[in-house]
Amino acid sequence: MTPNYLPFINPATGERFGQVLMATPDETRAAVSEMRQASRDWGQRPVAERVRVLRQLQAVLIDSRDEISSTITQDTGKPRQDALIEIFVTVDMLNDDCNNAARWLRRERVSSGLYLFKRVYVEPRPYGVVGIISPWNYPVALCLPPMLAALVAGNTVVLKPSEVTAATGVLIERLIQRVPELRPFVRVVHGDGAIGAALVSAPPDYIFLTGSTATGKKVMRAAAEHVTPLTCELGGKDAMLVLDDADLAAAAAWGAWGAHFNAGQTCMAVERVYVQEPVYEAFVAEAVAATEALKLGYSLGTDASNQVGPITFPHQMEVIEAHMADALAKGARVLAGGQRHGSFYEPTVLVDVTHDMLVMKEETFGPIMPIMRAADEAEAIRLANDSPFGLSASVWSRDLERAGRVAQQLQAGSVIVNDTIAHFGVPQSPFGGMKESGFGRTHGKAGVLQFTQSYGYAVGAPPQPLDVATILRQPGHYRLGSAILRLAFGVTPRQRLEPVVEELNRRTQGGELAWLGLGLGAAGLLAAVAFAFGPRRARHR
């Protein structure tokens, strides 16, 4: 078989600046089994020890920042400063994981309920080996944070970076090599979707996919074959709502930034804007001015003034052009931009758009800002929710309470008020989708704990006579069990008192059931203790 190479292509210049040999499906499966072996060592180390090793990578990332940003820029075409944002977000998240992992991952003692003679613990345990599959739009910020969260949680990792930004994938592999103590616990497999599919069916013990909804559906089907659990961070069509009391200058400036940042190739880019009627005209004028002020171009310089780079993945340009052609054919008007220049597309403002147009229905993933009128707040909310996607959203209003009320009604995994995109970078703010934008949450505590499964551990001496487990198991205890059930879990006072009344009635009818009286006494005691030490009072060990 002839070896396959992934070329490194600079999308801004078309220059080929390197290549990497693709992994084969066999090598991918071998990487998973090697990492499964290694997970026994890594997963058993104390959290503090794993953090010590990961701090070394943190230092390497900081020292290598210029090399990383330069590679990202050549690989994607984005400005160096935008590449630095990826490193910033990654290091911030790693630092936060390292600061908190020991607390998030510690074993906790929980209430043992009526099982008074047992102690019960819950422990987050790593899955084993996690397969991470990543896209090209943020080739560092979408590869490293999930990988590092999986590692801090005690898993080993097989990473498959995007074939579109293979140079960054190779650099990530080199960065890991620079930490000899981490090297045995991560493998990077370079390749296209077929290698991603080989990784999924290897299978690893957990899959973390960031990619399109179409790929998410394929990966879910393949993961079902081995019942492999997974997180899917998929596409978006984020809405921005501008209410009639918004700071229009800020909304237009940061809304345009959110639509055009990274040339719109952001899962949570502003892809639809709904503006309340009274401020529509003024907002559009400001958004056009903010969009026209953005400088299109490419530079490897760290202080260059260009803000919007090329379309990184050539296929994406076809999608952008198809959405624009469809919108224009259905009556939309271009107020800014609208032209392609080779691999670049001008930051664009579209008006007179409707929900019949692709640009309002499907993910465009380009620098297009379609703006639509909304008669009132309720219509803005209805239009924002009229989408199969539900990744993120933004709301603009000077009245933070009103903005909060609107935010609560949006079908999105996260919402930001009076800004766009920024919440992705907050380490402890969970990020992920609703509806066809996927499921699972990344970042912070949820992002680390998703790579663990709750292990329950119950310990104590063999069952005692007064142990509820013993009472319920021994024959002849139906009436006692029924009494305990109501005394301990009765919802109304009547339910709780019923067994006592029944017992008194029995006694007055002459039945000398002393044992039941005793049993009820014990049950009452158990119930009282269980109530006192119930789950609300679960203690940490």
The two structure tokens encoding residue 37: 């072996």
Q: What is the CA radius of gyration of the chain?
A: 29
Contacting ligand NAD within 493-532 (CB under 6 A): none
Q: Per the residue annotation, which of 267, 346, 377, 436 is the catalytic one?
A: 267
Determine if 133 is a binding residue for ligand NAD (CB under 6 A): yes
Rounded Cα distance, 84 and 137, in Å: 14
Tell the burial category of 299 from Cβ atoms under 10 Å away from its Cβ (0-12, 13-18, 19+): middle
156 near ligand NAD, judged by CB under 6 A: no
163 scored as a contact of ligand NAD (CB under 6 A) = yes
Closest CA to 199 of 216, 222, 176, 183: 222
In order, the DSSP letters of 292-323 are: HTSPB-----TT----B---SSHHHHHHHHHH
Residue 421 gets the label, from left (phi > 0), alpha (psi -120 to 50) or beta, of: left
Residue 183 CB, nearest distance to ligand NAD (Å)? 23
User: CB-wise, 185 or 365, nearer to ligand NAD?
Assistant: 365
Give dist(CA 296, CA 338) in Å, integer. Answer: 13
Residues with Cβ within 8 Å of 47's Cβ and at least 6 positions away in sequence, in order, are 101, 102, 105, 106, 152, 154
Query: Which of residues 71 and 134 has its CB atom nearest to ligand NAD in the complex?
Result: 134
Q: Is residue 215 a contact point for ligand NAD (CB under 6 A)?
A: yes
For residue 110, the Cα-to-chain-centroid distance in whole angstroms is 28
Cis, peptide link before residue 430, omega less than 30° from 0:
no
Shortest reach from residue 73's CB to ligand NAD, in Å:
18
> Which C-beta is closer to ligand NAD: that of 73 or that of 210?
210
* 233: contact with ligand NAD by CB under 6 A: yes
Q: Which is nearer to ligand NAD, 87 or 279 (CB)?
A: 87
CB 398 within 8 A of CB 246: yes
**201 in contact with ligand NAD (CB under 6 A):** no
Q: Which stretch binds ligand NAD (CB under 6 A): 56-64, 111-119, 204-212, 468-476?
A: 204-212
Which residue number, 210 or 307, has a Cβ lying nearer to ligand NAD? 210
| Binding region for ligand NAD (CB under 6 A) out of 6-14, 215-223, 484-492, 493-501 | 215-223
Q: What angle do CA 209, 211, 216 make, to 5 degrees?
A: 70
CB 250 within 8 A of CB 217: no
Catalytic site includes residue 98: no
Min CB(245)–ligand NAD separation in Å: 31
Is position 163 annotated as part of the catalytic site?
Answer: no
Q: Is 286 in the site for ligand NAD (CB under 6 A)?
A: no
Of 51-59, 133-141, 171-179, 394-402: span binding ligand NAD (CB under 6 A): 133-141
CB 152 within 8 A of CB 158: no
Query: Taking CA 484 as the corner, what is the angle to CA 482 and CA 487, rounded to the nearest 5 degrees?
Result: 110
Alpha-carbon separation of residue 416 from 218, 244, 429 (angstroms) = 31, 17, 11
Q: Among residues 268 and 284, whose Cβ is nearest to ligand NAD?
A: 268
The total number of residues written for the chain in this structure: 541
Give whichever of 433 and 499 is closer to ligand NAD, judged by the CB atom.
Answer: 433
- Is 219 a residue that touches ligand NAD (CB under 6 A)? yes
- Given 173, 233, 346, 362, which residue is catalytic? 233
The label of the residue with tokens 């960054």 reads: 168
Shortest reach from residue 476's CB to ligand NAD, in Å: 58
Among 310, 427, 433, 444, indicate the residue that binds ligand NAD (CB under 6 A): 433
Using the rule CB under 6 A, is 168 a contact of ligand NAD? no
Are 317 and 328 a contacting pair, CB within 8 Å? Answer: no
Residues 337-396 contacting ligand NAD, CB under 6 A:
363, 365, 391
Confirm or reject binding of residue 97 to ligand NAD (CB under 6 A): no
CB 487 within 8 A of CB 468: no
210 is a site residue for ligand NAD (CB under 6 A): yes
Q: Using the rule CB under 6 A, is 136 a contact of ligand NAD?
A: yes
Stretch that binds ligand NAD, among 1-9, 212-220, 270-278, 351-359 (CB under 6 A): 212-220
Residue 165 token pair: 């930004």
Does 135 engage in binding with ligand NAD (CB under 6 A)? yes
In the complex, minimum distance from the CB of residue 431 to ligand NAD, in angstroms, rounded to a whole number = 7
The first and second tokens of residue 172, run together, are 């990530």
Determine, following the binding rule CB under 6 A, whether residue 200 of this chain makes contact with ligand NAD: yes
Q: How far apart are CA 190 and CA 139, in angstroms?
A: 13
Return the number of other C-beta atoms located less than 10 Å from residue 488's C-beta: 20
Task: Using CB under 6 A, list all residues that contact ligand NAD.
Answer: 133-137, 142, 160, 162-163, 192-193, 196-197, 200, 210-212, 215, 218-219, 233-236, 267, 363, 365, 391, 433, 438
Mind telling me the catalytic residues? 233, 267
